[in-house]
Amino acid sequence: MPVILSTCDAGFDADFATFLAARRESDSDVLDTVNGIIADVRARGDAAVIELSAKFDRLRLTPETLAFSPSEMAAEIARVPSAEREALELAAARIRAYHEKQLPQDARWTDDTGASLGWRWSAVSSAGLYVPGGLASYPSSVLMNAIPAAVAGVENLVICAPTPDGKVNPLVLLAARLSGVETVYRIGGAQAIAAMAYGTQTIAPVDKITGPGNAFVAVAKRQVFGQVGIDMIAGPSEILVIADKDNNPDWLALDLLSQAEHDESAQSILITDDEDFGRAVVQAIEKRLETLERREIAGKSWADYGAVIIVRDMSEAADLSNRIAPEHLEICVADAEGLADKCIHAGAIFIGAYTPEAIGDYVGGPNHVLPTGRTARFSSGLNVLDFMKKTTISRMTPESLRAIGPAAATLASSESLEAHGLSVLARLEALNNE
Question: Per-residue pLDDT for 135 more than 60?
Answer: no
Question: Per-residue pLDDT for 28 more than 70?
Answer: no
Exposure string over 348-385, b if 16+ CB within 10 A, otherwise e: bbbeebebbbbebbbbbebbbbbbbbbbbeeebbbbbe
pLDDT in tens, 318-327: 999 999 999 9
Stated as kind and residue range, the H or E segment containing 360 is helix 357-362
Q: Given 3.20.20.150, 3.40.50.1980, 2.60.40.10, 3.40.50.1110, which CATH number is that of 28-230?
A: 3.40.50.1980
Our answer to whether residue 328 is catalytic in this structure is yes
Helix, strand, coil fractions of the chain, as percent rounded to 5: 50, 15, 35
| Res 22: pLDDT | 82
Percent of the chain topping pLDDT 90? 93
pLDDT in tens, 76-129: 999 999 999 999 999 999 999 999 999 999 999 999 999 999 999 999 999 999
Alpha-carbon span 266 to 305, nearest angstrom? 7
Percent of the chain topping pLDDT 70? 98
Stated as kind and residue range, the H or E segment containing 242 is strand 238-243
| Res 1: pLDDT | 79
Average pLDDT, the chain: 95
| Residue extent(s) of CATH 3.40.50.1980 domains in the chain | 3-25+235-364, 28-230
Higher pLDDT, 22 or 274: 274
**Position 29 confidence tier, pLDDT thresholds 50, 70, 90:** confident
pLDDT in tens, 348-397: 999 999 999 999 999 999 999 999 999 999 999 999 999 999 999 999 99
| Residue extent(s) of CATH 1.20.5.1300 domains in the chain | 396-432
- CATH class, domain 396-432, is mainly alpha
pLDDT in tens, 182-222: 999 999 999 999 999 999 999 999 999 999 888 899 999 99
Say which CATH architecture domain 3-25+235-364 belongs to.
3-Layer(aba) Sandwich (3.40)
| Res 214: pLDDT | 87
Our answer to whether residue 399 is catalytic in this structure is no
Contact residues for 212 (Cβ-Cβ < 8 A; gap 6+) = 130, 132, 141, 234, 369
Q: What is the pTM of this model?
A: 0.94
Lowest average pLDDT, out of 23-27, 189-193, 253-257, goes to: 23-27
SS3 351: strand
Q: Which of 264, 328, 330, 368 is catalytic?
A: 328
C-alpha distances in Å from residue 390, one per residue of 122, 156, 199:
7, 19, 26
Question: Per-residue pLDDT for 398 more than 80?
Answer: yes
pLDDT in tens, 276-318: 999 999 999 999 999 999 999 999 999 999 999 999 999 999 9
**Position 434 confidence tier, pLDDT thresholds 50, 70, 90:** confident
Q: Which of 264, 327, 330, 357 is catalytic?
A: 327
| Res 136: pLDDT | 60
